[in-house]
Amino acid sequence: MAVASLHCTFSPKISTSLKLPEVTQGVQLSCSWRSVNKVLRSRYDGDRLQRKKGKWSLIPSKSRGNSTVLCSLAASPAGEVVISSEKKVYDIVLKQAALVKKQLSSNVLLDVKPKLVAPRTQNLLKEAYDRCGEVCAEYAKTFYLGTLLMTPERRRAIWAIYVWCRRTDELVDGPNAFHITPSALDRWESRLENLFAARPYDLFDAALSDTISKFPVDIQPLKDMIEGMRMDLKKSRYRNFDELYLYCYYVAGTVGLMSVPVMGISPESKATTESVYNAALALGIANQLTNILRDVRDDARRGRIYLPQDELAQAGLSDQDVFNGKVTDKWRNFMKSQIKRARMFFSKAENAVTELNQASRWPVWASLLLYRQILDEIEANDYDNFTKRAYVSKAKKLMALPIAFGRSLVSPSSRKQPSLGKA
């Protein structure tokens, strides 16, 4: 069924007028806008659509205050209202930002202090965090070096989050991936719930359980990452970028939402908490899009294609072209557009790194700069991600570290405040 989309970003002072959109196949959109308004009022605090002189305007309610809100709806000719993946994710971002703002108001995040625990428990926790640090040092060397500048509490917490994410990813991409079933992921989610209820299963779980007792890390992003693993078990194609965006959020954007409460926001920052979360989300999306472009060959060998099917078709390409692995002018042009999109998300992410707590900026800057260089390497390989794997050399990594460190010293008050809009 053809679907027409209605997208707008607005503030309480702006009413964005949109011409009535047409369905892509030329069918005029004919649905009950009364039903659309009903959804708006229930989901978006009273916002409503208003038609005037042949144009539609999205009118925000007075209850919104000064916050900037994105509304992204799709309406089918049958009158059904569909919320886009971007809007679904944005709702989660708002919830996570609200949790951190609540903690900031009570100054909990400004000076995290360890809890008093029994000596035996303290020793076990130290061992748990040390083992998390060892895993991080082995599999994410550059990021690990950056974490050493963070305060001990924040550093250990980031290690614990990293290890949980890695273990979750290994379920479907590790050596035992062929044996993983949906029920196994269900058991992993139950284990996560026990972890949040202070009932850890092993030392790695104990480290994360201790972390969430000290920082306002919500369970939702972690559950969403597991949902991303479920998608990998049952889905190997993505019809459009809307579907791919949701997948990228699940498997990578969630990492940003988990990390911001630990890394903290600089006391000097004038950016909204929501905008910082949006930028953290954008970095996760950018990293995953980069992974996808780098790993086209490896994914194809497993029968997976993480490229938007509609955009492949528009470029004159098909699944078979991906499986054949031949670099043509069509493929080069297609890759150029995909790289451009990934860079756009990196740019959005860059806006808010400076807003983080100073001790937390270096690892984030290092991650951003190094991952973005993978896109440069794809270009340097003449867009051949079939026979060549794009990677950043050790020399370039070493050169990026002092650049990342220099950028981490820039405080929010010393730079022009950018517009940190929706990611």
Q: pLDDT, tens digit, for every residue of 162-219?
A: 999 999 999 988 777 778 899 999 999 999 999 999 999 999 999 999 999 999 999 9
Q: What is the pLDDT of residue 80?
A: 54
Beta strands per DSSP E along 264-400: none
Provide the 8-state DSSP code for 271: S
Which tokens is 253 given? 């954007």
Point out which residues pair with 56 in neighbouring strands: 18, 51
Q: Residue 52 pairs with which residues in a beta bridge?
A: 55
Query: Would the pLDDT of 72 be above 80?
Result: no
Compute the distance between CA of residue 422 and CA of residue 64 in angstroms, rounded to an integer.
16
Between 105-109, 188-192, 359-363, the lowest mean confidence (pLDDT) is in 105-109
Nearest by Cα to 352 from 406, 401, 282: 282
Rounded to the nearest integer, the mean pLDDT of the chain is 80
Whether residue 151 has pLDDT greater than 50? yes
Quickly tell me which residue has 């040092």 as its tokens. Answer: 137
pLDDT at 414: 61
How does strand 48-52 pair with strand 4-10? unpaired
Comparing 16-20, 169-173, 278-282, the range with the smallest average pLDDT is 16-20
Q: Write down the pLDDT at residue 320.
A: 97
Q: What's the rounded mean pLDDT across residues 252-280?
A: 92
How are beta strands 69-75 and 55-59 bridged, if at all? unpaired
CA distances 320 to 28, 249, 325, 337, Å, are 35, 27, 8, 20
173 alpha carbon, distance to own chain's centre:
19
* Crossing angle of helices 119-139 and 203-214, rounded to 10°: 100
**What's the mean pLDDT in 20-30?**
34
State how far the Cα of 353 lies from the Cα of 368, in Å rounded to an integer: 9
Give the model's confidence band at 352: pLDDT under 50 very low, under 70 low, under 90 confident, else very high.
Answer: confident
Q: Are 353 and 412 in contact (CB under 8 A)?
A: no
Sign of CA dihedral 96, 40, 48, 345: positive
| Contact predicate 359/151, CB 8 Å | yes
Other residues' Cβ atoms within 10 Å of the Cβ of residue 107: 8
Residue 119 has pLDDT above 80, yes or no: no
Give the percent of the chain with pLDDT over 70: 74
Q: Give the residue-averaged pLDDT of 120-134.
A: 89
- The answer on pLDDT for 306 being more than 90 is yes
| Residue position matching structure tokens 């009158």 | 79
How would residue 301 be classed by pLDDT, with cut points 50, 70 and 90? very high
